[in-house]
Amino acid sequence: MSVATAFEIVLAAVVLGLGTWTIVVRETFSATVGFVAYGLLVALIWVRLDAVDVALTEAAIGGGLGGVLLLGAAARLWDADLMAMEAPGEVARASAAALSVLTAAALAGAVLLLPDPAPTLAPAAVANAWATSLSNPVTNVLMAFRAMDTMLEKVVLLLAIIGVWSLAPDSAWGGRPGPRHQADPRGVLAFLARLLPPVGIVVGIYILWTGADHPGGAFQGGAIVASMWLLAIMAGLADTPPVSRRSVRFILAAGPGLFLVVGLAGLLFGAAFLSYPPAQAKPLILGIEVAMTLTIAATLGLLLAGAPERSAEP
């Protein structure tokens, strides 16, 4: 057994230990913290699996922004946690445990019985990279070969925003999401919120740009920009925009909108819906990715901010 495999076994064990702790610990806040740590370690597993794009996404969106979301909820629902809720009885727990073990065992068996050599689309993806002249195969799959899934997923994000906004009380419709945050202007939070966003935004734009040929892309870059924006909001340096503002709505719809427009242009003038002429593929895809990054940053930030609570007048 090599050192690498030993490290992987230790990593898997720590991850599973954190996961178990997250499930069984009593306090919800501790469970949330455990989940954030779990998410960051899973990102390490993704690096070991040689999927750096996914590792970036998992760290930024899965563990990072997802963790912030859960932490915020755990803090606001603190009182609800203190109320006793009827936990299921012994029989339910025992059967749940038995069934979960059986399911995990069935899955483990499926993993061990996967065919060798494994069927793969990697050669086809690499061989067809000429169509977009981008060398990151994941970006090729996301933006060219399976572009429909990516476009539909943007619409999913938009629907999530509409769903979250629909939970506003009627009086606050069109207003600003979330409470107005205040932070000590000489404290650490305000200091970081002044220091980090410029650096973070540059990093985010770099990750978007380099996603064409190296690990990275619109999702990861957008998540970083979103977190910088949220940092400024949480320190009170910026406020959430009112949701009735047309510019906000336009930015939220820009990603899927541009994707659709380019796709329809391909339908009318090109080979097919969502196909790119090989000569202009790279600028088109990068243009769509820029719009996507703006949309993703705005969407992730607004999803975290929540439903409108204050009316639009300042």
Residue number with CB closer to another protein (17 or 198): 17
CA distance 202 to 287: 18
Report in angstroms how near the CB of residue 113 gets to another protein at its nearest: 5
Number of other residues whose CB lies within 10 A of the CB of residue 183: 16
Smallest distance, Å, CB 173 to another protein? 4
Of the candidates 40, 51, 189, 203, which one interacts with another protein according to CB under 8 A? 51
Are residues 255 and 292 in contact, defined by beta-carbon separation less than 8 angstroms?
Answer: yes
Judged by CB under 8 A, which of 212, 285, 298, 303 binds another protein? 303
CB of 314 to another protein, least distance (A): 18
* Closer by beta carbon to another protein, 13 or else 195: 13
Burial class (CB in 10 A: 0-12, 13-18, 19+), 223: buried
Applying the rule CB under 8 A, the residues between 241 and 300 that interact with another protein are: 244, 246, 249-250, 252-253, 256-257, 260, 263-264, 266-267, 271-276, 296, 300
Query: What x/- string results for residues 154 through 193 when contact with another protein is judged by CB under 8 A?
Result: -xxxxxx-xxxxxxxxx--xx-------------------
**133 vs 281: CA distance, rounded Å:** 7
- What would the two tokens of residue 172 be? 């606050």
Answer for the pair 235, 193: CB distance below 8 angstroms, yes or no: yes
For residue 297, the minimal CB distance to another protein (Å) is: 13
User: Structure tokens of 250?
Assistant: 């336009």
Residue with tokens 């070991």: 48
Which CB atom, from 81 or from 239, has the smaller least distance to another protein?
A: 81
> How many residues interact with another protein (rule CB under 8 A)?
139
Distance CA 77, CA 71 (A): 10
Subset of residues 8 to 47 that bind another protein, contact rule: CB under 8 A: 8-9, 12, 15-16, 19-20, 22-23, 28, 31-32, 35, 38-39, 42, 45-46
Applying CB under 8 A, among 37, 74, 233, 262 the residue interacting with another protein is: 74
- Distance in Å, CB of 289 to another protein, minimum: 13
In angstroms, the CA 295 to CA 199 distance is 20
Comparing CB distances to another protein, the nearer of 10 and 188 is 10
* Minimum CB distance to another protein smaller for 107 or for 195: 107
What is each CA distance from 249 to 7, 65, 177, in whole angstroms?
A: 47, 22, 14
Nearest distance from residue 196's CB to another protein, in Å? 22
Main-chain phi, psi angles of 297, to 5 degrees = -60, -50
Nearest distance from C-beta of residue 151 to another protein, angstroms: 8
Answer for the pair 221, 56: CB distance below 8 angstroms, yes or no: no
Give, in order, the Cα–Cα distances in Å from 199 to each of 34, 235, 238: 28, 17, 17
Return the number of the residue (200 or 306) whose C-beta is nearest another protein: 306
Residue from 40, 193, 207, 219 binding another protein (CB under 8 A): 219
**Please, which of residues 90-149 interact with another protein by CB under 8 A?**
92-93, 95-97, 99-116, 118-126, 128, 137-138, 140-142, 144-149
∠ CA 28-33-38, nearest 5°, is: 120
Q: How far apart are CA 133 and CA 273, in angstroms?
A: 19
